[in-house]
Amino acid sequence: MADTIISAGNLDFYYGETHALKKICLDIPEHNITALIGPSGCGKSTFLRTINRMNDLIEGVKVTGSLTYRGEEIYAPDRDVTDLRKNIGMVFQKPNPFPMSIYDNVAYGPRTHGIRAKARLDDIVEQSLRDAAIWDEVKDRLKKNALGLSGGQQQRLCIARALAVKPDVLLMDESTSALDPISTSRIEDLAMELKKKYTIVIVTHNMQQAVRISDRTAFFLLGELIEYGDTEKMFSKPADKRTEDYITGRFG
């Protein structure tokens, strides 16, 4: 199996009194798509956000245990969080392009990381839009406002924006749940393509999506990791009764 890129060991997470993640142990392999599933409020998004420390902004949170990215503690006191977020990008549920041109949306990240040369930025923008499978649709209107794109195009633009800073890992939190079936299937195809270059972790409420695109699936329930393993096996022969009941729609 592929090398582990992100590893949680007895990871606990608290929002004040709320114990949102309980002793999570989970190794995420490189160049795989890992799906996080489970009923609402079970801690999927919390886990995803601990990986690039998006939870840091919330008041009163506490993290204990170990969480490493390429062997180094994500919550080490001397960790450069900007650099971490450059390596571990995120795509959200609702497409959230900035109210600026398509070009500037994609160039935004590289610019904040100090890239100014026009030719260099042009290259990055084109490559990112190509990787996000939206280049052909927007190449003639790069200066147009991104908000004029369809929802599915906006989401692929957000993926391009995330790719522009050359990340290593892409976190996607229900990134297709607001999209129509065609846009959803384009993003799914895209994810399958992107895993050759990146490692992808998705949160999804769509069981069939997890089956279609993920290599491994993690099932969370009430802050605990109940079962984690090969997606095909999990959906044909789950080991835990609770996993079975959830994926077959008997609760949740």
Partner 1 sequence: MRTRFDEQLNTLGQELIKMGALCEEVISLAASALIQKDDALAAKIAPLDHEIDEKERQIESMCLRLLLQQQPVARDLRQISAALKMITDMERIGDQAEDIAEILPFLNGRTLPEHIEIREMAKATIKMVTDSVDAYVKQDTSVAEAVIASDDIVDDYFTEIKSSLISLIAQNPTEGEYALDLLMVAKYFERIGDHATNIAGWVLFSVTGEKTYGRPQTDETEK
Give the span between the Cα atoms of 172 and 89, in whole angstroms: 9
In the bound complex, what is the minimum distance in angstroms from residue 102's beta carbon to ligand ADP? 30
Candidate list 115, 133, 207, 222; residue touching partner 1; CB under 8 A: 207
In the bound complex, what is the minimum distance in angstroms from residue 182's beta carbon to partner 1? 18
Q: Where does the chain have alpha helices with state H? A: 44-51, 81-87, 102-112, 118-131, 135-138, 151-163, 181-194, 207-213, 231-236, 241-247
In the bound complex, what is the minimum distance in angstroms from residue 173's beta carbon to Mg ion? 6
Interface with Mg ion includes 50 (CB under 5 A)? no
Interface with partner 1 includes 82 (CB under 8 A)? no
Give whichever of 82 and 236 is closer to partner 1, judged by the CB atom. 236
The torsion angles phi and psi of 92, rounded to 5 degrees, stand at: -95, 180
Give whichever of 43 and 109 is closer to ligand ADP, judged by the CB atom. 43
Which H or E run includes 6? Answer: strand 4-15
Give the span between the Cα atoms of 247 and 252, in whole angstroms: 9
Candidate list 19, 211, 222, 230; residue touching partner 1; CB under 8 A: 211
Question: How many positions of this chain bind partner 1 (CB under 8 A)?
Answer: 14
Which H or E run includes 29? Answer: strand 18-29
The torsion angles phi and psi of 18, rounded to 5 degrees, stand at: -75, 120
Q: What is the binding site for partner 1 (CB under 8 A)?
A: 207-208, 211, 235-238, 243-244, 247-251
Q: What is the binding site for ligand ADP (CB under 6 A)?
A: 15, 18, 20, 38, 40-46, 58
Q: What is the binding site for Mg ion (CB under 5 A)?
A: 45
